[in-house]
Structure 1
């Protein structure tokens, strides 16, 4: 049985689908602080499988202990954490309290119940402003915001835990930029309020919720002056967790893997790809660079290719198509109760 924290979130829900479709039993928890209960219902709808779910925070050690005593947990995939870079800058204590302290509470309970297999949801933000691309797992780390720092601190804590007790098997997955949605359109990225990420914003402009996309910076040293990122389909990312579970069970020790495609796309290239699949004009304006933003960031995923036998398979057009399908079917995210008519 695998415990999935933050299971109702964007990446968590897609990973639950892949776990269930691979006949792996799960127990799921989420406090819905940045997600919707509907995603849990829809995971069960997509897979046709039921699972135990608990509405709770990883900060609630009493409930955590109840779960570990009630279920035969063999491994944990830890997604639960706040994820907005901009919010972390304005409210760093919130991020340190939840992302770091929450992980410490989880680790303490895992240790008490002798569950020493963990996959941690980390981020490419730990690389900060890279001096060279593509970025390998051996690249220098150096964060530029409290969100990234919270991830890096947890990584270092987990490394120390493994060094102190080699029975721990820990896989750190450094995500690049997940986009897209499940092909059914049942689950996808549902930002609360103004989106922080590019694709949800582009989607909302395409469907008429927002007027235009603000492109921050057009003077980077890239082909068109806009920032370049490694965009990966969320389903490919989810499948990376399946491969990581297999790796855990080989008594792998402490491992770090980049999950990315190895190819970078500029902001304007993404907008153009989305215009093509949606048949909609996406208006945008250029704005000054944001503090902490970087010009180019894309992965060297070769370690995951070789050691996990994992490959990102989906291309940018499919990522945009699936994101648009989700947006059309859920114009107001999980708050929607019917398909937005007249779009397709």
Structure 2
């Protein structure tokens, strides 16, 4: 049994599909603050398997321990967390409370129940300004925003805990830029309010929900002047979590592992690919650079291949086609008429 915190979210729900497809049982613990329970209904529809769902907040230690004990879990995948960079800057205490204190409560519950295998949802933001590219796991760590600082704080907590007791097994997965949707068109990214990420914003422009895409800066030292990122299909990312769970079942240690494609694409690259996939125009409006945005970064995914036997299988064309399939079939997300 795998206990999945935040399992109704974008990455969590796609990971639940792949866990079930791999023959694992799943219990989801989620407070549905930034997610819809409908996503888990879709998980069950796609897989034909049952997901046990427990509503609760990871900061509630008693509820968390009770749910974890009741689940019979042998391992935990920890997605639950707030993730909007701008919001983290305006309300840092909320982010430290949810992301750091919440993780501490989870670890306390796991320790009490002697469950010592954890896959943690971290982020490439822990690398900060690139000192070299591609980022390897040995790149210095220095987050440039509060969200990244909370991820780095949790990583440090896990490393400290492992040094104190080497019976723990941790896989710290540093995501690059997850995009895409389940190829069935039944599941995808459903941001609340104005999207914070590029791909759902592009998709909402294409489907007519928004008039144009703001592109923040076209004077970066990149081939077309727009920011370059390493995009990874959410299904590939989900499969990385399955591989990580399997890895922890056979291997001790505390390892940070990049999950990325290992190549960079610009904002305009992604817009053009989406226009081709959707057959829709995506008007853009160029604005000034945003403070704190990096010009370019991408992953070295060699360690994921070595330790997990994992690498990406889906390129930008599939990312765009699957996103469009989701968006056109669910123009208003999970709350819409489907």
Q: Under TM normalisation by the shorter chain, which class is it?
A: over 0.9
- Name the SS for the 2:209 alignment partner: coil
How many residues are treated as equivalent by the alignment? 338
Q: Which residue of 1 aligns with 2:123?
A: 123
- Which structure 2 residues correspond to residues 15-94 of structure 1 after superposition, within 5 A? 15-94=15-94
Q: Which residue of 1 aligns with 2:185?
A: 185
How far the C-alpha of 1:51 sits from its partner, in A, is 2.2
How far the C-alpha of 1:252 sits from its partner, in A, is 2.3
- Name the SS for the 1:296 alignment partner: coil
User: Could you tell me how far apart the structure 2 residues matched to 1:284 and 1:184 are?
Assistant: 29
How far the C-alpha of 1:55 sits from its partner, in A, is 1.1
User: Could you tell me how far apart the structure 2 residues matched to 1:170 and 1:187 are?
Assistant: 28
User: Could you tell me how far apart the structure 1 residues matched to 2:71 and 2:318 are?
Assistant: 38
How far the C-alpha of 1:200 sits from its partner, in A, is 0.4
Q: Which residue of 1 aligns with 2:244?
A: 244
User: Could you tell me how far apart the structure 2 residues matched to 1:72 and 1:123 are?
Assistant: 28
Contact 2:236 2:314 in 1 (8 A): yes
> Are residues 1:296 and 2:296 paired?
yes
Q: Which residue of 2 aligns with 1:283?
A: 283
How far the C-alpha of 1:73 sits from its partner, in A, is 1.2
Contact 2:2 2:73 in 1 (8 A): yes
- Name the SS for the 1:297 alignment partner: coil
Contact 2:58 2:105 in 1 (8 A): yes
User: Could you tell me how far apart the structure 2 residues matched to 1:233 and 1:334 are?
Assistant: 20
How far the C-alpha of 1:131 sits from its partner, in A, is 2.1
CA deviation map 1:269-292 (0-9, x unaligned): 000000001011110011111111
Q: Which residue of 2 aligns with 1:314?
A: 314
CA deviation map 1:131-182 (0-9, x unaligned): 2211100011111100000000000000000000000000000000000000
- Name the SS for the 1:83 alignment partner: coil
How far the C-alpha of 1:251 sits from its partner, in A, is 3.0
Q: Which residue of 2 aligns with 1:341?
A: none
User: Could you tell me how far apart the structure 2 residues matched to 1:307 and 1:18 are?
Assistant: 19
CA deviation map 1:176-220 (0-9, x unaligned): 000000001111100000000000000000011101100011111
How far the C-alpha of 1:29 sits from its partner, in A, is 1.0
Hey, which bits of structure 1, 4+ residues long, moved more than 4 A? none
How far the C-alpha of 1:324 sits from its partner, in A, is 0.4
- Name the SS for the 1:226 alignment partner: coil
Q: Which residue of 2 aligns with 1:342?
A: none
Contact 2:171 2:248 in 1 (8 A): yes
CA deviation map 1:284-337 (0-9, x unaligned): 011111111100010000010111110101010000000000100110011111
Which runs of 5 or more structure 1 residues have no equivalent in the other structure? 339-344
User: Could you tell me how far apart the structure 1 residues matched to 2:36 and 2:29 are?
Assistant: 12
TM-score, normalised by the number of residues in structure 1: 0.97
Contact 2:167 2:252 in 1 (8 A): no
How far the C-alpha of 1:250 sits from its partner, in A, is 1.5
